Structure 1
Amino acid sequence: MVEIFSDAIGLDNLQETHWLSLAVRESRVRGLESLHTVRRRLDVLGGEIETLDGLENLRRLGTLRVTAPHLTSIRALSSVEVIDGSLETLEAESLEDLRGLENVRRISGSMKVRLTSADQIGVFDNLESVGGDVFLLVDEELICEAGMAFSEKSIGGTLVVGPTDLGGFDPASCE
C-alpha cells in the first residue's frame, strides 16, 4: 500500500502497486508518471487534489473510489480499459465531468456514480459489462435516458437509477 499526502517525487519508477491512497496537498499528482497498474484499489480521498494529471499511463485498476472534495477532473484516466473491482464516485460532489472513463469496457464489481448531464451518460458508451450492481444517482430529467442507456449493457446485478428509486429501472416507464 502506498499512501501519498504530498507529491510522489522519488517514486518515479513505480510501475505497479496493490493499493494507492491519494490525499494530496497539491492540485495534481506528481511523481507517478510511470505507474500503469493499481491491482487492488485506488482511493482519491481528499486534500487539495483537483485533477489526476500525472496518472496518464495508468491502464488497469482494481477498485476506483473517489471522495476528494475538490476533484473536478479524472481525464488523466483515459487509458484505463478495465476496472477489476468497483467504480465509486458518489461522494465526489465537485466531480461533474466523468470524461476519462470513456475507454472503460468492463467493470468487474459494482458501479456507483452521479450523472448530472446527458454528456456524462455518453461517457459510458464503450462500457460493455458491469459484474455487480449499478447505482446511478441522476437528476430527475435524466432518469429515462440513463436507465435506457444502461439497460442495454450486461449487468450482473441490479440496475438502480434515480435519486430515490430503490426498485430498479423499468424500461416500460419511459415509453
Structure 2
Amino acid sequence: MATAWSVTNRTDGLIDGADLPLIPSATAREAAALVSAGLWRVSGSGWTIQDFDSTQTSSAEIERLERKRRNDREYKAKVRAQGKGPDVVPDSRSDVRSDIESDVRSDIESDIGSEVVSDGKGKSKSKSKLQGQQAEPESFAYPEDGKALQVRQWIEGNGITSPAELAEARGMDEAEAVKWWGSAFPGWRAA
C-alpha cells in the first residue's frame, strides 16, 4: 500500500513520519519491520522505499507525460477546430483518420515505450513497456472473469481518474468504460 500511496501522492518513495497514518494499515511497527527486511531505509524524519526509482515512474516523469498529453489534446483540438472552418477541406475523412491514428501510435510509442498493435477491427491497443507503469491485466475482457482487482490496480497505477479517461486510454466506447469502472470501483455510481 505504501508504494501505491507514494505514487498517488507523488512523493517519489519518500514517506514522512507524519504521513504514515495516511497509509492504510501502516504502523510504526510495520515500518520498522520493513527497514529490518531491507525494503525501506530510514531517511530524515521518515523512510524511503528501496528501489522505488527503478520500479516506479517518478513524479517529474508523470508530470512531463501529463503536460505532453494536455499539450497534444490542445493541439489536436485546435487542428480539429481549424479543420471545421470554411477554408479548410481535408482530402478525405479516411486520410485524416489514418493520419491521426498514426500520430497517436507514434506519440504512445515515444512517450512510454509501448508497442501499439491493431486488433484487426480498426482499433489499436497499446502494450506498455515502460518500467514502473502498471502492467496491463492479462485479459481486459469484461471482468466477470475475476480480473476486477487487476483492472483497478492498472487504472490506479496509470493515473486514470475517470471512465472517460479509461475509454480514451483503452480505445473503448464510454459505455464499456463505465461498466469497467463500476466493476473495478464497486461503490462508484455514474452521475
- Give the TM-score normalised by structure 1: 0.26
Q: Which of the two has higher C-alpha Rg?
A: 2
Higher helix share: 2
Higher strand share: 1
